[in-house]
Amino acid sequence: MPDVKVNAGLRQALQIPWWFAGLALFCYLLMLVYPSIAGTYYAFTDWSGVGGFKYVGFANFKLVFTDGEALSSLKNTVFLAFTTTIIQNIVGLSLALALNGNSRLKAFLRPVFVAPVLLAPVVVGVIWQYIYSPEGALNSLLAVLDLRDWQQPWLGLPDTALWMVAFTVVWQFAGLTMIIYLAGLQGIGPELYEAAAMDGSGRLRQFLDITVPLLAPAVTVNVLLPFIGGLKLFDQVMMMTAGGPGYSTQTAALMIYRQAFTHGAFAYSTALAVVLTIGVALAAMVQLAVLRRREHTR
Amino acid sequence: MFALSNPITGRHLLGGLACLTLASAPAVLSAQELTMSYLASYKTATDQAIAGFEAANPGIKIRASYTADGQSIRAQFTTGNAPDITLVYPGDGAPMSLIQLAKAGMLEDLSSEPWARTIPQSFRRAVTFNGKAYVPPTTYSFITMLSNDEVMKKVGASVPVNFNELLAFCDKAKASTIPIAFGLKEQVPTLFPGYAMIASTAFVDNPSFAEDHAAGRTNFAKGYKQSMEMYLQMRDRGCFSRTAAGNSNDDALKQIANGQAALYVGVVAFLPAVIKYNPDVKITQSPFPGNVDESKVRLPIGPTITYGVSAQSKHKEAAKKFVAYIAQPDNLRKWAATVNQLVASDIESAPAPAGNATAVANLLRAKRTVEYLDRNWPNSKIQPIYMAGIQELLSNQTSVDALLKRMDDAYSQP
C-alpha cells in the first residue's frame, strides 16, 4: 500500500507543472492568440481604425502584392534578414573561435562582446543614429584618418542607409551568436581533435570535419533566431531612419505601423501583418526542416 | 466617560480611520478628472491653459499626456479609450484631422457653444463638418523663410525675392556657407519649400485649384509638376548642403541659428527654437520666393491644431468647459503668444507677426495667401506619399511624373 501512496504523490507532484503551464497557456491564448485571430478578421474589411466598416474580401491582400511601397518594404525586410543572418554568423563564429579557451583575456573579452545584446534596440538605434550623423563619430574618424572624401550622410543616402542599419543590427547581436557558438564549441571533446591530429589532419581539416559538423545544432539556432528577428525588424529602423530616405529602409513591420497609425489604414495594415506572420512562419518552418535534416545527416 | 474608561485598541483606530475615509470620500468623488492627449510641442502653452482652467474651476482636474506626433491618440479612439479632450487637426488630410474624426462619429458636436457663433469666415471650413462646429479655431501659422542677417551680410547678398534670384543666391553663397539649411533626413521638412512653391505656382495659375481638384477638373500631375521641377533645380544649383540628406530639422535650425547657413524654410513656430539656440542671432522673415515673378509669390497659411471633445467622453460638460475656456479671446491670446502664432480671430485684420517680418506682413495684409494644401486632401495617405516622394526625388530614386502619379492614385482612394 505504501507504494500506492508514493505513486499517487508522485502523480500529484507531476501534475503541478501542468497547472502552471495551464495558466501560462491560458494567458498566451487570451492575450496573443485570440487577439491575433480576431484581428485577422479586420484584414478583410475597410476599417480605418474608427467607426464602422464593410467586408471587402481579399482586396487588401491583393493590394499588398501590387503596392510598390509594400513590395519595396518586403524586399528591404528580406534583404535585412539575409544580410544580418549571414554577417552575424560569420562574425559570431569568428569571435567564438577566437575567444574559445580559458585565458584571462578571453574571459574578459567575452562579456564585452555580449554587452550590446543587453541594450534595448531603441537605445542602440539612437546611439548609432548619432554615430552615423553628418557631424557624428564615423565622419569624425574619417576626418582624423584624412579620408574626408569618404565622409557621407550615411543614413540619408539610399545606397548606404540600409547597410548601416544591417551593420548596427549585427553589432548588437553578434555577441549573442558568439555565445551560442561558444557553447557548441565547448561541447566538442578535445580528444576528437587529438585523434585527428594523430591522423595527420591540419587545422583547416579539423575545423571542416569536426567543428562544423558538431556545431550543427548551434548553426540551427543561430540561423533561425537572427532570420526571424530580421524579418520583424522595427525599433532600430524607426529610430535611425524612420524608413527613409523615401522608402529605402522601410521594413514590413515599420510599414504595418505606418499604415495603421499614420495613414489610418488599419485594415490594410492588418493584411500586411497577416502576410508578414505567414511569411515568417513559413520561412522558419522551411529553415528548421532543412537545418534539422542537416543535423541528422552529419 | 465612555472614551476614557475604555482603552483604545487597534480595532478602534481602524474604525476611526474608516470613518475619516468615508467622511472625506464625497469631496474626492466630487472632483472630476479629465484626460487630455496633445502634441508635445504645445506642452508649455497647454500646461499654462490647464493651470488657469483648474484655478477657475476647482472641481475639475485635467491629466494631460503629450505625444510627439499624435499618432497614438488615434489608437486610443480605436480601442474605446479616447481622452476626454483631444488634439484635432483642422480640415482633412490626417488621421487626427477634424473631418476624419467627425465622419467616424468620434467628436462631440459643439455647435451650441458660444464661441461657435463667432468663427471667422475664413476658418469656417477648417473647423466645421456638415455645417456643425466641432472645434474652436485657435491660431494660424504660415510657412516663412528665415534669413540670418549676419550671414547674408558676409555673403554680400540681399534676401532673394523671386525664384531666379534664389538660384543666383545659391550660386553665390555655396562657396562660403550653406545657402539653405534643410533637414532632409526627416520627412516633414520636405513640406515647407514644397508647399511654398506649389502655393506660388499651381494656386497662382488657378486660385481655385483645390476646389477644381475636388471636383475632378484637375489633378496633381497638372498642378504640382512645376514645383517639383523647381525642387530639383534647387538641388542641382547647390542650394542644400551635401549633408542635408543626413540632417534633421533640428540640425537645420541649429545651422541657421549658429551662422552655418544663410536661409531656412519652415513654419513660423520654429523661430523661438532658432532664438533659443542662439539668443543673439538676428533673423529676418520673408516669404519663400516660389515663383520667378515676385508679384506671384504666395504665403502658405493655415489654422493650427486645436482642442476637441471626444464623443466617448464620460465628462463631456467639463470637457466642453475647457474648450470654451481656451476659446476665450484673452486665454487664446496667451496661448498663441507661447506658441509664437497669430490668433485666429485676428486673421481679417492681419496684424504683423513678431520680429522683423515686413515682407510677410505685406503678403498677409494683401491676402496673398494659400491655405495649407493638405487641409483639402480627401485622405491621410497623400501627405506621407508626398513627403517620402520628395526624399526619393532629391535622391534620384523616382521621377517627377512617377511621384505625381502615385499622389493622384492616392487622391482617388477613400
Q: Between A135, A244, A260, which is nearest B185 by CB?
A: A244
Confidence at residue B24, expressed as pLDDT on a 0 to 100 scale? 44
Q: 3-class DSSP state for residue A25? A: helix
Q: pLDDT tens across B25-42, in order?
A: 444 445 789 999 998 888
Residue of A nearest to B243 (CA): A153
Residue bearing cell 533637414: B183
Confidence at residue A158, expressed as pLDDT on a 0 to 100 scale? 92
pLDDT-derived band at B3, boundaries 50, 70, 90: very low
B392 touches chain A (CB under 8 A): yes
Residue of B nearest to A245 (CA): B391
Residue B22 has pLDDT above 50, yes or no: no
Q: Which domains does chain A have, with CATH numbers?
A: 65-297 (1.10.3720.10)
Residue A12 has pLDDT above 80, yes or no: no
B35 touches chain A (CB under 8 A): no
Residue B110 has pLDDT above 70, yes or no: yes
Q: pLDDT tens across B168-195, in order?
A: 999 999 999 999 999 999 998 999 999 9
Greater pLDDT, B12 or B208: B208
Chain A residues with CB under 8 Å of B255 CB are: none
Strands B32-39 and B60-67: parallel
Q: pLDDT tens across B139-173, in order?
A: 988 999 999 999 999 999 999 999 999 999 999 99
B105 touches chain A (CB under 8 A): yes
**CA–CA separation, A257 and A261 (whole Å):** 6
Residue bearing cell 485684420: B349
Which of B129, B185, B241, B403 to mutate: most A Cβ within 10 Å?
B185
Residue bearing cell 540632417: B247
Q: Among B49-63, B114-128, B301-315, name the one with the lowest average pLDDT.
A: B114-128
**CA–CA separation, B16 and B20 (whole Å):** 6
Burial B53-70, CB ≥16 within 10 A → b, else e: beeeeeebebebebeeeb
Q: Which domains does chain B have, with CATH numbers?
A: 33-138+304-346 (3.40.190.10), 142-302+352-411 (3.40.190.10)
- Which of B363, B360, B385 lies closest to B374, judged by CA? B385
Strands B299-303 and B139-148: antiparallel
Greater pLDDT, B29 or B353: B353
Q: Which residues pair with B223 in a beta bridge?
A: none
Confidence at residue A4, expressed as pLDDT on a 0 to 100 scale? 52
Chain B residues with CB under 8 Å of A134 CB are: 243, 246-247, 251
CB B261 within 8 A of CB B148: yes
**CA–CA separation, B235 and A294 (whole Å):** 54
Whether the pTM exceeds 0.90: the reply is no
Greater pLDDT, B93 or A63: A63
Residue A269 has pLDDT above 70, yes or no: yes
**CA–CA separation, B404 and B385 (whole Å):** 10
Q: Between B106, B394, B398, which is nearest A50 by CB?
A: B106
Q: pLDDT tens across A135-191, in order?
A: 999 999 999 999 999 999 999 999 999 999 999 999 999 999 999 999 999 999 989
Tell me the mean pLDDT in the region B306-315. Answer: 94
Chain A residues with CB under 8 Å of B129 CB are: none
Chain B residues with CB under 8 Å of A266 CB are: 78
Which of A262, A266, A269, A270 to mutate: most B Cβ within 10 Å?
A262
Mean pLDDT, chain B, rounded, equals 88
Tell me the mean pLDDT in the region A215-243. Answer: 93
Residue of A nearest to B82 (CA): A50
Mean pLDDT, chain A, rounded, equals 90
Residue B284 has pLDDT above 70, yes or no: yes
Confidence at residue A2, expressed as pLDDT on a 0 to 100 scale? 47
Instruction: Give A257-291 as a DSSP string.
Output: HHHHHTS--HHHHHHHHHHHHHHHHHHHHHHHHHH
Tell me the mean pLDDT in the region A59-82. Answer: 94
Q: 3-class DSSP state for residue B117? A: helix
- Which of B326, B303, B323, B339 lies closest to B85, judged by CA? B323
Where would I find the H helices in chain A?
2-28, 34-40, 59-64, 68-99, 104-114, 121-132, 137-144, 158-186, 190-198, 203-206, 212-214, 216-231, 235-240, 252-261, 266-297
Q: pLDDT tens across B375-414, in order?
A: 889 888 898 899 999 999 999 999 999 999 999 999 998 7
Beta-carbon pairs below 8 A across chains A and B = 107
- B368 HSE (CA, 13 A, CB side): 20
Chain B residues with CB under 8 Å of A264 CB are: 74, 95, 100, 379-380
SS3 readout for A192-233:
HHHHHHHCCCCHHHHHHHHHHHHCHHHHHHHHHHHHHHHHCC
Residue B124 has pLDDT above 90, yes or no: no
Confidence at residue B26, expressed as pLDDT on a 0 to 100 scale? 42
Which of A45, A48, A237 to mutate: most B Cβ within 10 Å?
A48
Tell me the mean pLDDT in the region B62-79. Answer: 82
Name the B residues in 142-181 with CB < 8 Å from any A CB: none
Chain A residues with CB under 8 Å of B242 CB are: 153
Encoded amino acid at B350, one letter: A
Tell me the mean pLDDT in the region A97-114. Answer: 90
B79 touches chain A (CB under 8 A): no
pLDDT-derived band at A102, boundaries 50, 70, 90: confident
Chain A residues with CB under 8 Å of B101 CB are: 50
CB A265 within 8 A of CB B381: yes
Residue B21 has pLDDT above 50, yes or no: no
List of residues 6+ apart from B297 with CB closer than 8 A: B161, B162, B200, B287, B288, B289, B290, B291, B363, B368
- Which of A255, A238, A239 lies closest to A75, judged by CA? A255
Which of A131, A249, A255, A261 to mutate: most B Cβ within 10 Å?
A261
